[in-house]
Amino acid sequence: MARTLGADWHYASSAEVMEEIGQAVPFYSGATHENLGRDYGRAWPCTKDKPLGTRFLFEDGIPPGRPFRLAAIARPAPPEADLEYPFSLTFGHSLYYWHQNVLIKHSETLKREYRILLLDYPDGFVELNTDDARRLGVRDGERIRLKARTGTTVAAARVTPEVKAGTIFVPHFVRKVEQEISGNHHGGATPDLVPVRVEKEAA
């Protein structure tokens, strides 16, 4: 296709393309198709000196001449406690569940490994810390009501230690929750953190 469009390309395979990328970008110099086909891939940067990959970027120090430096960032001050709305609700991407579960629906491997969440929570879920759920008497899969000053919504609770205590996490693909809790049904921006309180929804 490239040659048809006028490019002077003579690659015999995508492996040759990857080899050229490795020549142009040293961080990819060890990322050949042969190397990537072993085991379960490699951690990037993957160089000829470290063909098994590296744990993190610049683990041997920043090379000289780099136009940037790494600096520690001060931890932001926690927001003032709100006794009426003690939880901080935040929105984000849920691993493997971006954009209405497109990745799951179109990958047999992911569907086999992670489809259980779709079976347990067919209408989506919000994530609640294990200790918070125990204190509130909420069980996994139980419907809870989230109340904010701007709106209210009901969703199934996914009880998990992966979420920090005092936080409610809502995946972006559960659009109904985001719209109802913010009172915005027209696709406008939602604040990063929304103070909410959690109540058990009557059966």
Q: Where are the domains of the chain?
A: 12-71, 87-200
CB-CB contact of 194 with 177 (8 Å): no
Angle CA 122–128–129, to nearest 5: 140
* pTM exceeding 0.85: no
The full DSSP string for the chain is -TTTTT-----SSHHHHHHHHHHH-GGGTT--HHHHTSBTB-BSS--SS-TTB-SSTTTT-PPTT-S------PPPPPPPP-SSS-EEEEEEPPTT--TTTHHHHT-HHHHHHHHHHHHH-TT--EEE-HHHHHHHTPPTT-EEEEE-SS-EEEEEEEE-TTSPTTEEEEETT-HHHHHHHHT--S-----SEEEEEEEEPP-
Confidence at residue 166, expressed as pLDDT on a 0 to 100 scale: 93
Confidence at residue 198, expressed as pLDDT on a 0 to 100 scale: 94
Ordered per-residue pLDDT tens for the chain, 203 residues? 888 899 888 888 889 988 999 899 888 898 888 888 877 778 888 888 888 888 887 777 776 776 667 788 888 776 676 889 999 999 887 765 655 566 666 777 766 766 667 777 777 889 999 999 999 999 999 999 999 988 999 999 999 999 999 999 988 777 788 888 877 655 555 667 889 999 988 76
Mean pLDDT of the chain: 82
Confidence at residue 116, expressed as pLDDT on a 0 to 100 scale: 67
Confidence at residue 108, expressed as pLDDT on a 0 to 100 scale: 76
Beta-bridge partners for 187: none
Q: Could you tell me the fold of the domain covering 87-200?
A: Barwin-like endoglucanases (2.40.40)
